Structure 1
């Protein structure tokens, strides 16, 4: 396993983070414990969860696992959780108000069997709560030692910049990470979100790096398997995600290149897709999810897959989003290049 600094912090995290959304719900406790053990044995050290995953079941499972393992394992595990969405029936059981943050943080600490949370992430923007109120609570929690670092998730570019600029004006600690959906199938955040993150030295933690399983190569176009999974889900959001993935010619063309590169390297499509993602300049570590040990082992194999310049270029070109409207067309592409390539030539092109 490789290690990277968590954004602009001094904390080292593994280059693959284990997402635990389905642990305790989709995956039973025995297998979930085996997945957690195998991930740590492979050198992974960071677990990502949220207070709403399984209505708290994910955090509780991690807490039981921590209690059942030796102090050495517990000490070297970096815990990340999130807060924002509804955790109860009350009108104040949601959002980023001081009241909801305080109650949710205390509850998460109990569930996780922890005295402090290493990375406390805001799960989404709250348009109804002043940014100053949220930041003042986070600053107090940091000073009290209840959290060590702050992250955000599912923010737009302007929301990230406003949050950071306000924190700078208040003289409180800045967020070190941003957790966003990002993969070879979802690259639209390259328009504004990633340039904002790079400008502020905020590390990106991509969720759904395999695009809900699409980039694993398990689907076949226009087949019954291609219409399965999320397409037949009762959840409208899952159906929407599946339609976006399966109805895009660009995504199928991207998958063809992924499979070709994988065959040349003797790797799996999942490993190639993850390797491309970890090669992007904004990315600290993708968040991998695994319902089974087999899925975990496949994903962990990505750390040994190295893509050469030719493979990276093929994957980048075939999956590139192609907006035509100003300012996201050629104008936007040149702006993005500035943050990735600081050469004089790139600056002159601007």
Structure 2
């Protein structure tokens, strides 16, 4: 799915040492999470990665054309074969997570222990139902889109701005999805309101977004996992399992450094809350 399916093959060519790798199986079409096709797609990923196992296997989204009992039964078989260490899910509704856990408990299957969710200062749809659900069942939360897919970087000028490349660009499925998610009038209005406050405090919007996730979001340390020492930040710290991406080493270093900084000023927090109020009614759903 990522980089048109080339990511895993690329990773296999890197000298990653003892680094762990997680992977996902996305139901591109109905039936991909049937026992046979799920195993085939996951085996294909392992072959591309040139690995015998991965750390986390994610069901990237629900395949509602296949009974969850069948999918989970095959997941359990692959887990017992030692093909992955942790079972994760992403983009499932909270009530579906509860259903998954119930099925796994009833059948003695490996249970989901990690959920990857879309979450940032102006996209908070996971807070009312999903987060309490995950806490109830002891499922760790991994956050993606902390910068709203790069929207906080301010690279888009308005609704009519369609870049030729990048995450929001072109006619790719990814570009169309991200434009539908964030390229809306109220999101640009929210961004403009934040720029003035950011400038007054000499802060970058990306820094504000990352520090909000660390210190002011609904997340707690126990919601995430210990990532240990980050080579760029040069500190030992608990990151609330926020997926921080970058298009360059310098950008990654800056993002890690920003994430390690302290809480934000009250005026900035109020501006973020006001921005969320502005976009909340049109916030994209966390589940697909």
Tell whether the structures are fold-level matches, with TM greater than 0.5: yes
* CA RMSD of superposed structures (Å): 3.0
> Partners in 2 of 1:294 and 1:172 — Cα distance?
43
Q: Which residue of 2 aligns with 1:293?
A: 249
Query: Over residues 197-250 of structure 1, what are the superposed CA-to-partner deviations in whole Å (9 max), with x where a residue is unaligned?
Result: 23223222222221222111334458xxx7242776324763464355343435
User: In the TM superposition, what is the alpha-carbon distance from 1:130 to its structure 2 partner?
Assistant: 1.8
The reply on whether 1:318 has 2:275 as its aligned counterpart is: yes
Cross-structure match for 2:11: 62
**Aligned residues of 2:193 and 2:275 also touching (Cα < 8 A):** no
Deviation at 1:302, TM superposition (A): 2.2
Describe the superposition over 1:18-72 as per-residue Cα deviations: whole angstroms up to 9, x where unpaired.
xxxxxxxxxxxxxxxxxxxxxxxxxxxxxxxxxx32343100111110xxx2xxx
SS, match of residue 125 in structure 1: coil
Q: Kindly tell me: are residues 301 and 107 of structure 1, through their superposed partners in 2, closer, same or farther at Cα, counting changes over 3 Å?
A: same
Deviation at 1:188, TM superposition (A): 2.0
**In structure 2, C-alpha distance between the alignment counterparts of 1:322 and 1:220, rounded to whole Å:** 21
Q: How many residues align?
A: 257
Query: How far apart, CA to CA, are the structure 1 residues paired with 2:121 and 2:271?
Result: 11
1:81 corresponds, among 5, 23, 31, to 23
What's the counterpart of residue 227 of structure 1? 161
- Structure 1 residue runs without a partner (length 5+): 1-51, 325-350
Deviations 1:257-287 (A, max 9, x none): 36634762x5432122022123331553222
Tell me the SS of whatever aligns to 1:95. Answer: coil
1:252 equivalent in alignment to 2:189: yes
Q: Does 1:268 align with 2:204?
A: yes
Alignment partner, residue 143 of structure 1: 80
1:8 counterpart residue number: none
* Residues 77-134 of structure 1: per-residue CA shift (max 9 Å, x gap): 1211101334xxxx89x52111112112222222112221101000110112121222
C-alpha distance in 2 between matches for 1:322 and 1:110: 42
**Structure 1 CA distance, aligned partners of 2:24 and 2:169?**
29
The normalised TM-score by structure 1 is 0.64
Q: Secondary structure at the match of 2:17?
A: helix
When normalised by structure 2's length, the TM-score is: 0.76
> Which of 40, 47, 59 is residue 103 of structure 1 equivalent to?
40
CA distance in 1, matches of 2:270, 2:8: 39
Q: Secondary structure in 1 aligned to 2:126?
A: helix
Distance 1:308 1:183, change over 3 A: closer
Give yes or no for contact 2:88–2:114 (8 Å, CA) kept in 1.
Answer: yes
Secondary structure of 1:145's aligned partner: coil
Report the counterpart of residue 92 of structure 2 in structure 1.
155
